[in-house]
Amino acid sequence: MLKSVDGNFDHPEVDKLLKKHFIELRAASPEGSAHVLDIPGLKVSSIKFWSLWENKKLFGCGALKFLDKEHGEFKSIRIHDDFRNMGNGVKVINHLIDEAKKLNIKRLSIETGAGKFFEPARKLFKRCDFKPCKPFAHYKEDINSIYLTKHLNND
């Protein structure tokens, strides 16, 4: 079972995972189409960040940016390399959805890349019932981006 910890940016493993995430996403995204946040960007008050742990090992992380009181955007979702390619992405997404529901979020959206590098992420979000949508919040139409959304049943 995953245990989530709020914040935890100062933990060396979390810091290392996020830095790897930033480097890879920026390298895979054309200039002007990289929307990954760095650690200071994740620390703003409109974002809630969790590190996820299994048996004291870092499993992954993810963040929720509040776009308004009922609409959130997932940011910086990452699975630790030790847990990748085993179907664990669904566990992380479902855990983050549960956290969003606790915060009374009714709709979740995400921007991800359109290129080959981002294909596993697109498959994961499709498996978790996210549907294509128009750009939301500050995003604009961009051939390098895919926009997805999911309405939550908060019963």
* CATH code of the domain covering residue 138: 3.40.630.30
Section 70-82 average pLDDT: 93
CB atoms within 10 A of CB 28: 16
Section 88-96 average pLDDT: 91
Tell how far CA 76 is from the center of its chain.
Answer: 4
For residues 141 and 47, give the distance between their C-alpha atoms in angstroms, rounded to a whole number.
Answer: 24
Section 19-28 average pLDDT: 80
Say whether pLDDT at 154 is over 80: no
User: Which residue range(s) make up the domain with 117?
Assistant: 3-151
State whether residue 144 is helix, strand or coil: coil
Section 108-119 average pLDDT: 94
Structural domains in the chain (count)? 1
Q: For residue 2, what pLDDT is reported?
A: 76
Q: Are 147 and 136 in contact (CB under 8 A)?
A: yes
